[in-house]
Structure 1
Amino acid sequence: MKVSMWTMAKGQFNKLPAVSKADLTGKTVLVLGANTGLGFEASKHFASMNPGRLILACRSQSRGQAALEDLQAKTGYSRAEVWIVDLAEFASVTRFADKFEQDGGRLDILVENAARAQLKYEPTKDGWESSLQINDLSTPLVALRLLPRMMQTAREHKTVARIVVVSSEMHYVAEIPKELLARGDVLATLGSADYCTPTNMRSSYNITKLLNLLFVRELNARLGPTAPLIVDAVNPGMCVSELRRDLPAFLAFIFRTLERIMAFTAEQGSRQLVFGALGEPTNPDALRGAYINQSRIEEPSDFVIGAEGHKAQGQIWDELVEILKKVDPRVSATVDQYLSGA
């Protein structure tokens, strides 16, 4: 499927479906990047459905606590918790996952919303370009570390768990350089200082969102068609958010202007996160590996569904797993035990 920028722009004026609803009594929902924007609005929606537990995963304790208090004031929900995780630091992700293994209990829904958009190279403590690490290394690491608990939850409670990864329609215009695919070091190169020139960084966000979608499709395939865990990718559309807070002043002004003209509110965009977690209740299998836009399943880009994209998907998965095994050896056990269905 090909989608032009003009088609994307027109879609911003569509009337969006109402938020999906479900009874979440007794279930645990975890939202990454929950203290602001899409994550906070999605958390408000989940809170209104009476989950047994709602975990707001945030980078800052003070901002997380402020969000928790705001959430309780606006919804009356009193069982939310703030957990700290910084996706720009692998050690923080590992500590977060270790804590969940020790006292997290059941986990029914994981919404992976945290993301970063960068136009200049900024390395993390771990030596990776920051948006690539946050969007495409740490986000998968959280999913893989928490996957065993989600599988256990689904089997013990005879339910189907869900992982929702926030992607973007910008994947339609993203291109992974063919020379990187030929060499087989896509992630290592995209995350390196040598590659992250100002020119290459202009397209980095789009590529990270394409990589999100490839991860979702490969993870779902490796789980197999009968696993009690569904993984999908959602496009919230262009929304008023803090995603573009690190842009240069001139570009920030342009995007603020566009937001006033055509952006969805954070609440409207958050409906897609909730749909990924709760949508298609009578036919949940329809969402396995799906790309969701405006509360419906849509065909991803021609690259994603074509032979070249399928090959790249498997190749990048292999590279990702090797990277994450070195970061956290427990990834190996998850892959070996649960992810042999492809």
Structure 2
Amino acid sequence: MPPLKSIDLPPYKEGFGTIFLKSQFCGKPKWAPKTTDLSGKVAIITGANTGLGFHSSRQLLSFKLAHLIVAVRSVTKGEEAASKLRKQYPKAKIEVWELEMGSYESIQSFARRAAALPRLDIAILNAGLARMEFVTNAKTGHEEVMQINYLSTMLLAILLLPTLKAKSTAGRLTIVNSGTSYRATFLNRNEIPLLPSFDKVEGFVPDQRYACSKLLGHLFFVRLVDYISADDVVVNLVDPGLCKGSGLNREAQGVFGVVVAIGERLLGRNLEVGASTYVDAAILKGQESHGCFVMDWDIKPFANMVYESEGQPVIDRLWDETLKELDFAGVRGILEDMRNRK
């Protein structure tokens, strides 16, 4: 009997605290076998100049990855990271491509560049943001965390799908998510329209905004995978867990910053272990992980709202508003084309 998909699993009944502690202390790493061979394959990793992105890059290269594209906002910082990787893996082709996740134009340009590659086998969308203060993206007018973690990430994911399908025999798209999605309160869920309600400073709570951006990833994802065949591209979400040194909470200050720092030190996974979750989701997991949320190296349920009847109208509204927001990039046509070719 095949393993159950995330959507088929019963939602968690435990509170987030219990889920989190079990995850951090009971999750057992599943390392890729030393015989794993990525010879000839091409991978893109966003936000790969530091933290989990850098460490997952190094792990993929250790399995003879032929070509790595380090996608970063700062080419200078990307080249610094790439130089370290080139010294360790001189046989691999390692390129640095500019990608500003806060800019729709940059994302489209990046996707067009990727489409020109002779092949593309793996894309790990790792770039993300946590902010302690409300910041509006000057290019889009949206709040920055929602812009980068949700809207821009889903745009890039959709734009890369045709290339992963056409330029690989078994394309893999792994979108980095978070177990914090389980604790998102999403108090504005009944706002109409929904997306503009995130652009108001009222109600902005830093840790809740990050969690909600990841929850929206779950809600959109369950509709997205209806358009994608696992025979074309295996798409999944992955949670690396709390990791010390990831840099995600670098803006945390004051008492909150101290609490976060202590929590990471006492409870956090090291970056090698955290990065192994990416490799597991993108390389080791097979079609059974398509359309699933992978946490602790295993398929886990989505956030509770995915399963609740009162959540369905919210998912409908989020899906419709997100596609409308991204209409300029032709996302509806891409998705229909992916579905029609199943």
Asked if Structure 1 and Structure 2 have the same fold, meaning a TM-score greater than 0.5 normalized by the shorter chain, the answer is: yes
CA displacement 1:69-89 (0-9 Å, x = unmatched): 111233445311111101012
Q: Which of 117, 121, 125 matches 2:134?
A: 121
Relative to structure 1, the CA distance from residue 209 to residue 161 in structure 2 (aligned partners, 3 Å threshold; closer, same or farther) is: same
Stretches of 4+ moved more than 6 A in 1?
A: none
1:22-61 matches, within 5 Å, as: 22-61=36-75
Query: 2:25 maps to what in 1?
Result: 13
CA displacement 1:79-115 (0-9 Å, x = unmatched): 11111101012121122122223x3231111101111
Q: Percent identity?
A: 28
Shift of 1:27: 1.4
Give the conservation status (yes or no) of the 8 Å contact 2:47–2:71.
Answer: yes
Query: 1:142 maps to what in 2?
Result: 156
Q: Which of 175, 190, 193 matches 1:181?
A: 190
Q: Which of 319, 322, 336 matches 2:321?
A: 319
Give the conservation status (yes or no) of the 8 Å contact 1:31–1:43.
Answer: yes
CA distance in 2, matches of 1:160, 1:308: 36
Q: After alignment, is 141-150 or 196-205 more displaced?
A: 196-205
Relative to structure 1, the CA distance from residue 200 to residue 297 in structure 2 (aligned partners, 3 Å threshold; closer, same or farther) is: same
Q: Which of 302, 305, 311 matches 1:303?
A: 305
Relative to structure 1, the CA distance from residue 302 to residue 341 in structure 2 (aligned partners, 3 Å threshold; closer, same or farther) is: farther
Shift of 1:15: 5.5
Does residue 167 (structure 1) correspond to residue 177 (structure 2)? The answer is: yes
Does residue 229 (structure 1) correspond to residue 233 (structure 2)? The answer is: yes
Secondary structure of the residue that 1:81 maps to in structure 2?
A: strand
Secondary structure of the residue that 1:12 maps to in structure 2?
A: helix
Give the conservation status (yes or no) of the 8 Å contact 2:215–2:303.
Answer: no
- The alignment covers a number of residue pairs equal to 326
CA displacement 1:11-67 (0-9 Å, x = unmatched): 312363242243211211110110111111110111111122111101111110011
Give, as a single letter, the amino acid of the residue that structure 1 aligns with 2:335: V
CA displacement 1:197-236 (0-9 Å, x = unmatched): 3654441011011112223322212224x54111111111
TM-score when normalising by structure 2: 0.88
Secondary structure of the residue that 2:69 maps to in structure 1?
A: strand
CA distance in 1, matches of 2:303, 2:335: 27
Secondary structure of the residue that 1:82 maps to in structure 2?
A: strand
Give the conservation status (yes or no) of the 8 Å contact 1:216–1:231.
Answer: no
Q: CA RMSD in A?
A: 2.1
Q: Structure 1: 5+ residue runs without aligned partners? A: none
